[in-house]
Amino acid sequence: MPSLHAAVLNAFKQQGWACTEVPGMTVVESQFEAYHSKIALHLQSYDEPQILSIVANVSLTVPHTHKSRTAELLMRVNRELNLGSFEIDWDRGAVMFRQSQVFANHQFEPSIIISLVHNALAEVDRITPYIGILCKTVPSLLPMLSIPDLLLREDLLPPVPVETE
């Protein structure tokens, strides 16, 4: 078993997260229940270059009529991100968040893997209600919808988690 893949499995085990390995591949898949939706997560390990790729899928599918405005929303969100980015599969209307990590010298810190998972989940959970509102907008009203104003709506953000001792 490649060592990066083993590190991913160990990080999931350490956190008590359920996951499934994809047979014949260094891929781990999981489902997480977040504040706004259920999030499907796909982690692929590339052992030789020591790269971990994480893709978190938004649970909504964007209708054809709403793709260009969704692309604008994602572009505006991506401009503010420091880690990872959103993208849309234009043919399927699927929105995903993708991030990667390059590790050095086979130092696969579980805390880094766990943080990457948390980041992917948080970003998808944060963007889901904005995409939901956009997708519920009647197509004829889409030109009048201000994406910058929509993104200012803090009432759509999930609550900040409370730390417990």
Its pTM stands at 0.91
Tens digit of each residue's pLDDT, the chain (165 residues): 458 999 999 999 999 999 999 999 999 999 999 999 999 999 999 988 999 999 999 999 999 999 999 999 999 999 999 999 999 999 999 999 999 999 988 889 899 999 999 999 999 999 999 999 999 999 999 999 999 999 999 998 888 777 776
Estimate the crossing angle of helix 110-136 against helix 3-15, to 10 degrees: 70
> 3-state class of 111 per DSSP?
helix
Pairing of strands 85-89, 51-61: unpaired
Distances (CA, A) of 4 to 23, 36, 142: 16, 31, 45
Write out the CATH class of domain 4-151. Answer: alpha beta
Cβ-count burial of 133 within 10 angstroms (0-12 exposed, 13-18 middle, 19+ buried)? Answer: middle
